[in-house]
Structure 1
């Protein structure tokens, strides 16, 4: 008798200073509150300006690098990147640019996805970054899930948080209580949706 592996939400992020990683961790906590599904946290390597790869195969700390099998096997995806001039970071874009084979096979069609970001300033492009990350996921046929205003912290936050996905205002060193609450709620909602779609 073969055992069936529990479905998982892939929480995939890139982070330079830790804020996006902290959002990923809080989203994973929300996922893990839902019985019958778990979180799998992964990251992507930095883009090297050199012609030869300069990143180690295994990062020195934090989450391990994402493999395509992590992506194809997930029941849902939470995708996060810091804001770079109102867009996702080059490392995440580079990773997503390498998934055309998954697009050709339709491996991600019909899976739910949500997004998260952090920026150094309150008006530093949170929403445009989240929108930029939606584009490749829509091309993959994923079902984009926002963060509804029924989450009361979205109405009161003075730090990060958007209906497009949770965000962090990087002027604050640590995630605010509202940002933590919204991250966990987003992860929980994504996990619940993924289970309904299985």
Structure 2
């Protein structure tokens, strides 16, 4: 998993530099396409641990947000699910409309989080822990994910049960169907990010 983690670290550094230099760049894009991209990127890591991906995206979902920040949120949440789910487990991704927002839920059958630690999970300075196969952390914490989500007008939350698994959910502002165009090409954004990170 080292190559993927290295890529995530590079993308984080690139994204933070972009935000500092240019500020946020909210655009209209298909969130479900971005989910598919992230699942594809992390599929090999999941297969190495014999984990099953279940894609429960039921409909197109268009949002207005910063594409790079959203990409990092998704990669971190899915990456954490892989990291903390034992071999043979399952990770599922689902979407649903919540009023003026689209919600993405990343669920796993992992080790779970003790309730006593819930308040610490999204805190500042929480140190990364080793995964079920002693995977290292990416350096991109859940607190940063929370900040990114909130900067884009959404919310990040989670529920978890020890030895059963966790579900992390985040929302982003939905865009009405008639306002879809112009739509940012997620593929083009990904290529730009890869070039900059490399």
Q: TM-score, normalised by structure 2?
A: 0.28
Structure holding more helix per residue: 2
